[in-house]
Amino acid sequence: MSLHDFPVDWILRVLGERAASYNIVNHPERTANVVHFAAWINYYTMADKLLFYNDKYDDHKPAKPPPKPQRRPATDQPGDYEARVREWEASKARIPVVLKPGNSMRASYYVEKMLPVYCAAYSHLVAQSDVLRAEVPVQQRYTWYLQEDNDPSHGTRNCNSLPAVYRHEHGVKVLSHPANSPDLNPIEGIWNIIKERVKRQLYTINTITELKAALQHEWKQVGQEMVQERINEIPYRCRQVFQHPSVWCKTALW
């Protein structure tokens, strides 16, 4: 066998000199393409596109929180102090529970950038109840719930938090949802579809822009019947979690 029989891109080394400095090739440092996205679904329709968030917080180190506001007995009107406390709580950045940058979210960011999208969709669905849910009894036809995943920025544990007040002001009811239970959230099944499809394209994706475009494209390919199949599974999943609370619920769909 001659040298010409080896592939061109192979690096040939003399036996015993593998660790020599002139045979060591330094590869450029790789940086991961990480994006954060959200959307809403329900049995009848779904969001037109993904909502990308937290871009401006990537590699952001939370600053020291501002001091808690003080009461002003001489000038405060009823509710003024509570409003300042809610804004103070929302402005604090929670400590990320993972090491990846950009995974933490402020409640103020959630209220400003994301919650209005959900509330607008919620109001539109309520207004379309007679069309979408004509077969549902009138007593239940106009009852809708927003299901969140109990992220601290959602403010589901504190009825006086900024997100909770915003939801209350816009007439949005929240579905009680156990923490750390993605197997009971149907949109997680949709995320699985999108992520698996985009994984097959990663070798052609080189930038954040291309990654976002690929995710948006795959979101457009998700049919409403896929959403309905995963929502129809929720009663079964709830029974499984009740009977086996320590076991992750896994089915053929997700």
| Confidence (pLDDT) at 88 | 85
- Domain ranges in the chain? 61-100+105-178
Question: pLDDT of the chain along its 254 residues, tens only?
Answer: 666 676 666 666 667 777 777 777 676 666 666 788 999 999 999 999 999 987 654 444 555 667 888 899 888 888 999 998 888 888 775 554 444 444 567 888 899 999 999 999 999 999 999 999 999 999 999 999 999 988 888 888 888 999 999 999 999 999 988 878 889 999 999 999 999 999 999 888 888 899 999 999 999 999 999 999 999 999 999 999 999 988 889 999 98
| Confidence (pLDDT) at 106 | 83
Distance CA 17, CA 163 (A): 63
pTM: 0.71
Q: Where are the alpha helices (DSSP H) in the chain?
A: 80-91, 107-109, 115-127, 129-132, 138-141, 162-169, 186-199, 208-220, 224-232, 234-243
| Confidence (pLDDT) at 245 | 87
